[in-house]
A and B are shown apart, each in its own frame.
Chain A
Amino acid sequence: MSYESEIKDKTGKDSFRNDRLNIPVLKYFWQASPLSGTRSKGVHNFLRKVSVLDNFTDYELRRFSKFLHLRNFHPGEKVFLEGSGGFGFYLIYSGNVDIKSGVSTGGEDQLITTLGEGEYFGELALLEERSVRNATAQAKNQVTLLAFFKPDLDELTERYPVVASKLLRSVSLIVSRRFKAVASELKMLKEKLKVVESGSKQEAK
């Protein structure tokens, strides 16, 4: 018997109306629908697009999303200041964030990079015991960030160790990528310095 005829049978016999509506099943289909608003715009769906969280399963992303704090910043508002103590890691949900530093210029903030949706910053705060921010993060426009704080990591580690270990793996991945980028930049700078030095030696001769 087909599903339609079964329904028709039931409605005909008036027994269908007595059946309970299965809310969890409905909720599942609603969330699974690609056209569902909550699915296309939700935090969980956003996390799927974040490259460093590739190793998370759907269930793990859902668990992780419960530990995130959605925070809104106005244009120009500072997320954190260079030199201050840091306890949070941020994922950019929407908008752009300027990363600035004043160390090389001796006070005047200089733009290092601008980060966009799906990018992240402040990851060292999760790894270090007493982390000090080495740059200032400032909202370029209206920004929504997903913040994950150190206490959340402690709680995640205690409650869902597998999710926490995957997260730490992702953070390590971010750190190693940054380290590689810094190392290659340093290499490039050294080569440039060599060229400049050899040029100045030739000039001196």
Chain B
Amino acid sequence: MDQSKKLNNRLLKNIFFFTITATMAVVLFALPRIFIPFGIAYILSLMVRPLVNVFYSSNIQKKTFAVLLTVLFIFAFIYPVVSGVSSIGEEAHKLEFYLPRAESYLRQQYLEFKDMVFQRLNYEIKMNPVDELVRIGQEYTQSLFVYLPKLLGSLLEWGLIIPLFLIFILKDGRKLRFSYIKIIPNHMVEKTYYFFHQFNTKFGDYIFAKFVEAAIVGTVITTGLLIIEFPFALLLGLFAAITNILPYIGPLLGFVPALIVGLVDQSPALGQMTLLYLIANIIDLALVFPILVSKIVNLHPLVVVVSVILGSQVAGIVGMIVSIPLAAFLKLFFVEIYNELYANPTLK
């Protein structure tokens, strides 16, 4: 009787824990307007963790610190967005007039190429890849460049909610975490807490490293393009910074629009621009990546590529960013399970 009572109690605890966890997950994912700013605030809280620890060891009050950090956040993130929106918006507006020029340039180049093939090989190319390319290009450019100011605008909207969540997470996050740990059943508390911690660490460190990496690449390219007076310097710098998130193909992808702009404009700075992109990526590959990112993510290149493709398919740009630390965490998780099940001779 007593035994069955204990079993019931254990079962109830398990059911309660899984119900609470599932409910929290469902509520968060069902409400994207809360989930996205909350997710960003959470990532920010992970990123500022080293700073938090400095403040803790210097005995500054939690509330004071949260307010200080929010002010810092407003100046570091909101101010550049506000000042950047107008100039990037201007560039995006110019782009609307620029795109038809690029299209006609590509068509002309393609026709010339077609003629050349016909003259030399007496073969007529029937397919027309330019139409398809232009259609894809238009779709992507519209959704990326034209939508960019709108996205930055909604960032401003989040500017109010994110600091609020950030204060809440910094002030009470630990209390909440401890309360959640209380309801984890005894037999799984150690591992759940450890994996949760590992996930947080990997996620926070990776996002922070990638953010710094993208900022360095973006700044180098924007500054360089401004110096050589290349058109669309801000947009191209921003695009290069965003595509830098993608491993391997990201830097190449970031270079393509700059190359098209250079070719269409018959820019004399084309060579300088190519050199600039090369230098920026060498700085990234030789200095920033080995110091910042590679220590955090120890994955096979194939796994990295596959996880990025899967991430982009599931959740777009956010998916691309999240996929690598998630893959690193899953690797750790499976290695741990494997060790627990197979590699341990003493396990009964």
B9 lies within 8 A of A83 (CB): no
B186 lies within 8 A of A71 (CB): yes
A87 interfacial contact with B, CB 8 Å: yes
Q: Mark A71-98, 1 if CB is under 8 A from B, else 0.
A: 1011011111111111110000000000
Q: How far is the CA of A149 from the CA of B188 in the complex (A)?
A: 13
A205 interfacial contact with B, CB 8 Å: no
B194 interfacial contact with A, CB 8 Å: yes
Q: Please name all residues of chain B whose beta carbon is closer than 8 Å to the beta carbon of A79 when the two chains form the complex.
A: 186
Q: How far is the CA of A12 from the CA of B257 in the complex (A)?
A: 85
A49 interfacial contact with B, CB 8 Å: no
Rounded to whole Å, the gap between the CB of B3 and the closest CB of chain A is 9
A147 interfacial contact with B, CB 8 Å: yes
B181 interfacial contact with A, CB 8 Å: yes
B193 interfacial contact with A, CB 8 Å: yes
Offer 26 A-B interface pairs, CB within 8 angstroms, sorted by A: A69-B178, A73-B186, A74-B6, A74-B9, A76-B6, A78-B187, A81-B348, A82-B348, A83-B346, A85-B336, A85-B339, A85-B340, A86-B190, A87-B191, A102-B348, A103-B346, A107-B348, A132-B344, A134-B346, A149-B190, A151-B193, A151-B194, A154-B197, A160-B56, A160-B57, A161-B57
Q: Which positions in A face B, CB cutoff 8 Å?
A: 69, 71, 73-74, 76-88, 102-103, 107, 130, 132, 134, 147, 149-151, 154, 158-161
Rounded to whole Å, the gap between the CB of A62 and the closest CB of chain B is 13
B182 interfacial contact with A, CB 8 Å: yes
B31 interfacial contact with A, CB 8 Å: no
Q: How far is the CA of A59 from the CA of B344 in the complex (A)?
A: 41
B60 interfacial contact with A, CB 8 Å: no
Rounded to whole Å, the gap between the CB of B90 and the closest CB of chain A is 44
Q: Mark B228-260, 1 if CB is under 8 A from A, else 0.
A: 000000000000000000000000000000000
Q: Please name all residues of chain B whose beta carbon is closer than 8 Å to the beta carbon of A82 when the two chains form the complex.
A: 346-348
Within 8 A of A (CB), among B38-80: 49-50, 53, 56-57
Q: Please name all residues of chain B whose beta carbon is closer than 8 Å to the beta carbon of A81 when the two chains form the complex.
A: 347-348
B187 lies within 8 A of A150 (CB): no
B133 interfacial contact with A, CB 8 Å: no
The SS class assigned to the A binding surface is mixed
Q: How far is the CA of A87 from the CA of B348 in the complex (A)?
A: 19
Please give me the 9 A-B residue pairs with the lowest Cβ-Cβ distance, nearest first. Answer: A151-B197, A83-B347, A83-B346, A158-B53, A159-B56, A87-B194, A87-B190, A88-B190, A159-B53
Q: How far is the CA of A145 from the CA of B187 in the complex (A)?
A: 14
Rounded to whole Å, the gap between the CB of B52 and the closest CB of chain A is 8
B287 interfacial contact with A, CB 8 Å: no
Within 8 A of A (CB), among B323-348: 336, 339-340, 344, 346-348
Q: Quick one: closest B residue to A76, CB to CB?
A: B6
B314 interfacial contact with A, CB 8 Å: no
A85 lies within 8 A of B191 (CB): yes
Rounded to whole Å, the gap between the CB of B193 and the closest CB of chain A is 5
B136 interfacial contact with A, CB 8 Å: no
Q: Mark B167-208, 1 if CB is under 8 A from A, else 0.
A: 000000000001001100011011101101100010000000
A159 lies within 8 A of B57 (CB): yes
Q: Please name all residues of chain B whose beta carbon is closer than 8 Å to the beta carbon of A150 when the two chains form the complex.
A: 194, 197
Q: Please name all residues of chain A whose beta carbon is closer than 8 Å to the beta carbon of B9 when the two chains form the complex.
A: 74
Q: Please name all residues of chain B whose beta carbon is closer than 8 Å to the beta carbon of A134 when the two chains form the complex.
A: 346
Q: How far is the CA of A161 from the CA of B340 in the complex (A)?
A: 32
Q: Please name all residues of chain B whose beta carbon is closer than 8 Å to the beta carbon of A76 when the two chains form the complex.
A: 6
Besides the contacts A77-B6, A78-B187, A151-B194, what 10 more A-B pairs have beta carbons closer than 8 Å?
A69-B189, A83-B348, A84-B344, A85-B190, A85-B336, A102-B348, A107-B348, A147-B189, A149-B194, A159-B53
Within 8 A of A (CB), among B292-348: 336, 339-340, 344, 346-348
B347 lies within 8 A of A84 (CB): yes
A77 lies within 8 A of B182 (CB): no
Rounded to whole Å, the gap between the CB of B341 and the closest CB of chain A is 10
Q: How far is the CA of A161 from the CA of B56 in the complex (A)?
A: 11
Q: How far is the CA of A78 from the CA of B6 in the complex (A)?
A: 13
